[in-house]
A and B are shown apart, each in its own frame.
Chain A
């Protein structure tokens, strides 16, 4: 009964989406407030019905109702509660329902919090948002119905892929989807602006918080996914340039570019057409990501059971929205008026440079991801484009970008003074140079690029600090004045500083992990040890344990540093009976920002066991940097001017004093 209810709710949601897709837009064209007013309530009701459908699916999982195919294929009665729940989105059908749910959440949020939007813009935005919802609801109902029943219900389910039974995976997809789908709002705003043929600085101010919110979730989702891969796959890698990872990286880069260009549009009313194009591209890349992952074109842990009709359907959605969006852009964009002038050396110029490099880097990732697919489709030749390709293309493009990062926020709008900014960055440059020299002294014969990379990371970090120091004049005025100034700084300035500082931190982590990490592999018996750096890991013995739905062989290691016991590590191998497969559970020990990483191989007949141990210096900085970027994003999001919303004509200006 619950499953049927869920199915019915999805059909009703589709019907509402179709209404919401047409009526408000007709209303906006004919300037009819009643028709435009339809958008808000339908968006809320649509959210309600999709939420009912999602709730029904969750209920089926929690009750282990194996008469539902989807539950049978992905759940097991013995599975812990949290994985019954995460099993809902650990498969194709369920994850698409989650996708649509998040789409509906964002639609409802625009309806709720968009009270200060102009009526026509709001009607158009919600209308466009509903086109997307209708397409994906249709996709679910036609090709991936999660509520299908089995005629003769089996007694036990087939269980979720063991590698997906992990706390990290319980939250990674929802976060990532919040990011992917959040970009749909920017897309809807862009299309609405094109339909109206009108766009101004206020538009940018409305779009920015939504993009920022999507960007925050996308950053968290990618960082989470990377950390999950790091500790579950057992080989200690945190980024593989796997096509599916690239599928999430591309929208992130585009969203980062969009955030920066929206600033120019908001403050200076320039780069309008470019911002619109970026908004369309960012969501297009999200859609392409969904297509790549869901169509079965790629094979990886993310590609759930694949079916050609689904691929074709998503491809059609893709062509419709990306093609339609770009066609509308080509047709209507010339109507938009060009905005303010600026010299190439200026804050605007720096942000243009940022966009230029980000978009180009994104394009190389796009090429590297899709080239093998295109080549195989055209010639049948199979190639793999792996990490070396991306390191060679993405890396060099990011260097000038990172060099420019500290300059941007210090540059004046309209016409900047490069030399003046360089002088103000004197401290940061000095720190970077000291870092480079220090690294040369310590490393000596190491790879020549490493000291420079460290210098670059230090420069980015020190640059972010310089920006705050300059604005609060910390070292020039009494401390109290400086503190007052710090509190008075717009939150978005703090946001910028945090995000840029986080970027430097992540870079530092990446360099540390890739350049100074060590790895040892050996076969050892109980009573023997394996040594790495100053650490000595002594294998005391192995035990076998029974988990809720698996059997586990755990190895007990005592870890000594310079002979002193500092702790124990217990890596294990789990065997899941229901699927006949296993996972490797690595053991991690934190040492400052470094990790000792221990994972097991297969046990041998003679009682020895293969062991792989890594020492990964600074590795935690990679994710710490991402967290700082997120903090920056949140600070920026809480900025007064975004909360207050865009200034409206004929309202009191005093309340809406611009932030800078």
Chain B
């Protein structure tokens, strides 16, 4: 086998694997990515029930209602709109009233968000970035919060 043939075999093999990877990525992107929405987005974008999304905001104080079998309902707000969330299971350590939270799931026909996972992100400042951005957009970003944790606003990748 000459050097040229060997190189062609190599390049052919590499392209084959690359094509496979691109195909896999495209298929995976179609099925497995989830969009993040604030409660205001949910209202404004008219998101259909059953579409998997992530939502985030602050847990409205006084809205947590616990039911049988670890069922829990609470409201998530970005200051402008509020979304009712239903979840069944253990809530993370950092979940509490007034704190930022991110939930993944889908809307049910009645407009309640059925979450199958709830994350209160384990970030040092205890504020998920998505939630912080959503709050900033609604003009409800608390300045004193920043001073309290001594963190500057997060930079977007530019």
* A residues apposed to B, CB below 8 Å: 73, 161, 163, 233-235, 295-301, 303-308, 311-312, 338, 341-344, 352-353, 356-357, 360-361, 363-364, 367-368, 371, 373-374, 376-377, 381-386, 388-389, 392-393, 396-397, 521-523, 573, 581-584, 599, 601-602, 604, 610, 612
Task: Please tell me which one of the listed residues B89, B122, B130 contacts residue A382 in the complex, with CB atoms under 8 A apart.
Answer: B130
The answer to whether B128 and A388 have CB atoms under 8 Å apart is no
Instruction: List, sorted by A's number, 11 A–B pairs whose CB atoms are closer than 8 Å.
Output: A163-B122, A235-B90, A341-B3, A364-B25, A367-B25, A382-B133, A383-B34, A383-B36, A384-B104, A392-B28, A601-B91
Task: Please tell me which one of the listed residues A305, A338, A357, A367 contacts residue B149 in the complex, with CB atoms under 8 A apart.
Answer: A305
B43-98 contacts to A (CB < 8 Å)? 54, 66, 69-70, 89-94
> Which B residues are in CB contact (< 8 Å) with A371?
29
Given A363-B21, A385-B32, A612-B90, verify A296-B155 contact (CB < 8 Å): yes
* B residues apposed to A, CB below 8 Å: 1, 3, 6, 9-10, 13-14, 17-18, 20-21, 24-25, 27-29, 31-37, 54, 66, 69-70, 89-94, 104, 121-126, 128-130, 133, 149-158
Q: Which of B35, B36, B123, B151 has the most CB of A within 10 A?
A: B123
> Which A residues are in CB contact (< 8 Å) with B155?
295-297, 306-308, 311-312
Given A305-B124, A376-B156, verify A389-B32 contact (CB < 8 Å): yes
> Which A residues are in CB contact (< 8 Å) with B124?
161, 301, 303-305
Closest A residue to B127 by CB, please name it. A299
A361 to B3 alpha-carbon distance, docked (Å): 27
A623 to B140 alpha-carbon distance, docked (Å): 45
Question: Is the contact region of chain A dominated by helix, strand, or loop, or is it mixed?
Answer: mixed
Closest B residue to A303 by CB, please name it. B123
Output the least CB separation between A310 and chain B (Å).
Answer: 9
The answer to whether B6 and A344 have CB atoms under 8 Å apart is yes
The answer to whether B157 and A305 have CB atoms under 8 Å apart is no
Output the least CB separation between B123 and chain A (Å).
Answer: 5
> Which A residues are in CB contact (< 8 Å) with B150?
73, 305
> Which B residues are in CB contact (< 8 Å) with A342?
6
A397 to B150 alpha-carbon distance, docked (Å): 44
Q: Which of A356, A374, A382, A583 has the most CB of B within 10 A?
A: A382
Output the least CB separation between A229 and chain B (Å).
Answer: 10
A455 to B97 alpha-carbon distance, docked (Å): 49
**Which A-B residue pairs are the 10 nearest by beta carbons?**
A308-B155, A382-B36, A388-B32, A392-B28, A601-B90, A299-B129, A389-B32, A393-B24, A301-B122, A389-B28
The answer to whether A360 and B21 have CB atoms under 8 Å apart is yes
The answer to whether A581 and B10 have CB atoms under 8 Å apart is no
> Which A residues are in CB contact (< 8 Å) with B3?
338, 341
> Which B residues are in CB contact (< 8 Å) with A604?
66
In the complex, given contacts A382-B35, A388-B28, what are 5 additional A-B residue pairs having Cβ atoms less than 8 angstroms apart?
Answer: A234-B93, A298-B129, A300-B123, A307-B152, A338-B3
Closest B residue to A392 by CB, please name it. B28
Output the least CB separation between B113 and chain A (Å).
Answer: 16
Output the least CB separation between A585 and chain B (Å).
Answer: 11
The answer to whether B36 and A343 have CB atoms under 8 Å apart is no
The answer to whether B34 and A360 have CB atoms under 8 Å apart is no
Q: Which of B17, B121, B126, B133 has the most CB of A within 10 A?
A: B17
The answer to whether B69 and A523 have CB atoms under 8 Å apart is yes
A374 to B158 alpha-carbon distance, docked (Å): 9
A342 to B2 alpha-carbon distance, docked (Å): 9
A304 to B124 alpha-carbon distance, docked (Å): 6
The answer to whether A306 and B32 have CB atoms under 8 Å apart is no
The answer to whether A377 and B157 have CB atoms under 8 Å apart is yes
Task: Please tell me which one of the listed residues B36, B94, B156 contacts residue A377 in the complex, with CB atoms under 8 A apart.
Answer: B156
> Which B residues are in CB contact (< 8 Å) with A233?
122
> Which B residues are in CB contact (< 8 Å) with A521?
70, 89-90
